[in-house]
Amino acid sequence: MTAAKNNAAAKNNAIEKNNSASACSAGLTSVAAATDSVMQNPCKAGLFITFEGVDGTGKSTQTAYLKEYLESLGAECVITREPGGTAPGRQIREILLHSSDDISDRAEALLYAADRAQHVDRVIKPALESGKVVISDRYIDSSLAYQAAGRVMRTDGVKMINEFAVGGTMPNRTYLLDMDYAASKQRLEHEPDRLESAGAEFFERTRKEFLNLAEREPDRFVIIDASQSVESVRNRIREDIGALLCKTSAGIMPAGNLQTNLQAEMSAETSAEKSGKMSGKTSAQSEQK
């Protein structure tokens, strides 16, 4: 195990063990406050879930799995991503990821924030207001990690433009898929884009900041070791979302339906596991069939 991975695992344990810890650092008070207010008023309308982490950790796969799972429980889901969750956002994404022109760090931060503002106003807020579950592959934490820490910019500036961009719309739950540089590089299946080409040190600063953000907001973040199998990550997320939905389902789906569907889902999984064991298969093997 690398030192970074040990560090990540230790932080994860600490966070999972001590969910009541409140270690908001000075700089992040208002983002944290916005999250707190969402957590205190869960599901006044909808539920907002984000996936974060460095590149190559399997966020898009898990986003799709979660959508499938929540729909099987009766929720209406909107799956989206940043950058590029809207038509203008896709043009911004093209500039950000594939432009061969030099883009300054401040311009990069503002472009991500502009994409985010459009995304919040035209996709995320309307969906939440109509009681849907919104699952976004990346959101504000990506800018705090990649632009502020990765690019070594003034954190307060990046925070300020992003607070303006999100206007108080913060996720109820953020899954941080954590992985080290070597493993993440191995997983990338396409040619690296501008950000993915930024190198090992940029990657490490970004990864570390994601972990710091998670440590500051343990009620919102769940850190998951993304080097595990895809099925283990998926199951960890299902376990967590099941518990979260039991607390916050009002407005997304009738509580009675949710309980019934969750119970049916759990007993189906238990019998699948039992039959897998009886025939000497793991649940992952059974699933591949």
Q: Which residues bind ligand TYD (CB under 6 A)?
A: 55, 81-83, 97, 112, 138, 142-143, 146-147, 193, 195-196
- Specify whether the CB–CB gap between 86 and 118 falls below 8 A: yes
Q: Least distance in Å: CB of 63 to ligand TYD?
A: 10
Place of tokens 């879930």: 49
Nearer to ligand TYD, 85 or 218 (CB): 85
Nearer to ligand TYD, 117 or 128 (CB): 117
Distance in Å, CB of 112 to ligand TYD, minimum: 4
Q: Are 105 and 147 in contact (CB under 8 A)?
A: yes
Q: Which is nearer to ligand TYD, 12 or 51 (CB)?
A: 51
Of 136, 139, 134, which Cα lies nearest the Cα of 78?
134
Angle between helices 230-248 and 255-278 (to 10 degrees): 150
**Closer to ligand TYD by Cβ: residue 73 or 146:** 146
Which of 86, 143 has the CB closer to ligand TYD? 143
* Cβ partners under 8 Å of residue 75, min gap 6: 47, 132, 133, 252, 253
Q: What is the bridge-based pairing of β-strands 221-225 and 77-81?
A: unpaired
What is the C-alpha to C-alpha distance for residues 147 and 115, in angstroms, rounded to an integer? 14
DSSP one-letter string for 42-109: TTSS-EEEEEE-STTS-HHHHHHHHHHHHHHTT--EEEEESS-SSHHHHHHHHHHHH--S---HHHHH
Cβ nearer to ligand TYD, comparing 207 with 258? 207
Q: Which 3 state secondary structure label does DSSP give 134?
A: strand
Nearer to ligand TYD, 193 or 231 (CB): 193
CA atoms within 13 A on the CB side of 61: 15
